[in-house]
Amino acid sequence: KAGVTQTPRYLIKTRGQQVTLSCSPISGHRSVSWYQQTPGQGLQFLFEYFSETQRNKGNFPGRFSGRQFSNSRSEMNVSTLELGDSALYLCASSWGTGAQEETQYFGPGTRLLVL
């Protein structure tokens, strides 16, 4: 079974630009969660989508947004990029319901550098 895939793997942007990252979950998984990982703050939860609806949200500004499509693929968008947005962005997928729903499988991440 194919794992979680993320594209692109690397991105360089300048301040003020916007960026869109993509995530394809494991087949059959309906929940996709997004995280930001930095050396200083660690792994921080952005939001979770389940069946095309945002189900949970972390404590990030509105510049960070996401969506999920009917095939469970998800995108996240960051508008008006700031230097502090430089990070590894990870998505993770899970079944979305049922036993052990808390277990999730991470993709390799998209490394974003904002100059």
Query: Which one among 1, 62, 98, 103 touches other proteins, defined by CB under 8 A?
Result: 103
The one among 29, 66, 107, 112 contacting other proteins by CB under 8 A: 107
Is there a contact between 73 and 9 (Cβ–Cβ < 8 Å)?
no
Asked if 56 is part of the footprint of other proteins (rule: CB under 8 A), the reply reads yes
Name 91's bridge partners.
34
Number of CB atoms found within 10 A of residue 26's CB? 19
Count of beta carbons in the 10 Å neighbourhood of residue 98: 7
Question: CB 16 → other proteins: shortest distance, Å?
Answer: 28
Residue 17 — φ and ψ, nearest 5°? -75, 175
**25 belongs to the binding site for other proteins (CB under 8 A):** no
Cβ-based nearer residue to other proteins, 65 or 108: 108
CA 31, CA 9: separation in Å to the nearest integer?
21
Residue 69 C-beta: closest distance to other proteins, Å: 21
Residues engaged in binding other proteins (CB under 8 A)? 4, 33, 41-45, 48, 56, 58, 90, 92, 94, 100-109
